[in-house]
Amino acid sequence: MTNLVDQRLGNYRLLCLIGQGGFADVYLGEHLHLGTRAAIKVLQMRVGKANIEQFRTEARTIANLVHPHIVRVLDFGVEQDIPFLVMDYAPGGSLRQRCLEGTPLPATFIIAYTGQMADALQYAHDQQYIHRDVKPENMLLQNENSLLLSDFGLVKVAYHSNSYSTQGVAGTAAYIAPEQIQGKAHPASDQYALGAIVYEWLSGAPPFQGSLMEIYGQHLHAPPPSLREKVPTISPATEKVVLTTLAKDPAQRFARIEEFATALEQSYQTAEGDPLSIAGSGIRPALYLPATQKAVEAGQQPLYLPQRTPSQFSSPLLTQKDSSYVPPLFHSSALRVSPIQRAKRAIDKFGFINIALIA
């Protein structure tokens, strides 16, 4: 597609290209009069008179999806047969950019991010809307511990355009549900995609790999490889939850995507309600540590504690007002912190330690 930098779409001047996908380019735009900035998503297609109303209908629907974890659509239009959307700008970039493939995430991030995305998708499903393209590239960082889901409806818009091709699907083959490959998208298709992403967050790789057609064939016919064979420290309960989302039959998945997030969170708890460390990360969430509980009670910031919003974890500790601090995302050293190092950090920060820290 032609580079549109320095050109004008609607009330925005396009400053620079900040992203490209299978069927859309994203520019950073500046409002001509207000000076405010937004992300301008330009679809890689031309729409004739027959498709303009289809685009406008979809754009209005997307604009009506208002949720703390969904990117807001501020405006839309068609100029010279070029359809575009004006959206909130997320300067943190996508989760794919911040979390490289092959890097498992700590448990606290997995639980928080799954909860946020499930909240957003459940809201959309309750509005009779399916995303169809859930993937890390469409999860944008609002801040260090909060995600925004983008690109609602763009797959559907592209599908109804004359320029649609399999190129738009190729980038998402790793997460596409079997029924969606067969052209029968269902709300449970979004759950399948999120489940495949969680599988990748846990193990470092999506469940199926290979050429495009090989991946499609595996989604349709092959059982996903065991998570515990890849990462033995994953609990059987967590593996069961994730594999439930990857059932070939949508009816065999969770009835609602929010049930998946709840079940995943519960799978990380013992009978006493304490979260477990996972995937060899070397990190136990801060709410597990007695020293952190004392720090919170003293009004200090806890360690390694992402916040799940709008709903929160079930642990009482996470209802504290100052529970939003998290470290910079996914430093490689964070995956290799030993118990002794954790104890030293807590002593340096709080001046005391509980023996449970180094158990």
| Angle of the 187-203 helix axis to the 257-267 helix axis, nearest 10 | 30
Judge whether 65 and 151 are in contact, CB under 8 Å: no
Q: Is 274 a catalytic residue?
A: no
Q: Which of 133, 151, 190, 249 is catalytic?
A: 133
Cα of 112 vs its chain's centroid, Å: 10
The token pair that represents 233 in the structure block: 């420290």
d(CA 290, CA 279) in angstroms, rounded, equals: 22
Identify the three-state secondary structure at position 72: coil
Q: If DSSP codes are grouped into helix, strand and coil, which group holds residue 94?
A: strand
| H runs (alpha helix) in 27-173 | 49-63, 95-98, 107-126, 154-159, 167-170
Q: What is the DSSP letter of 287?
A: G
**b/e code 56-92 from CB counts within 10 Å (16+ = b):** eebbebbbebebebbbebbbbbbeeebbbbbbbbbeb
Q: What is the dihedral of CA 203, 205, 209, 211, to 10 degrees?
A: 180
Residues with catalytic roles: 133
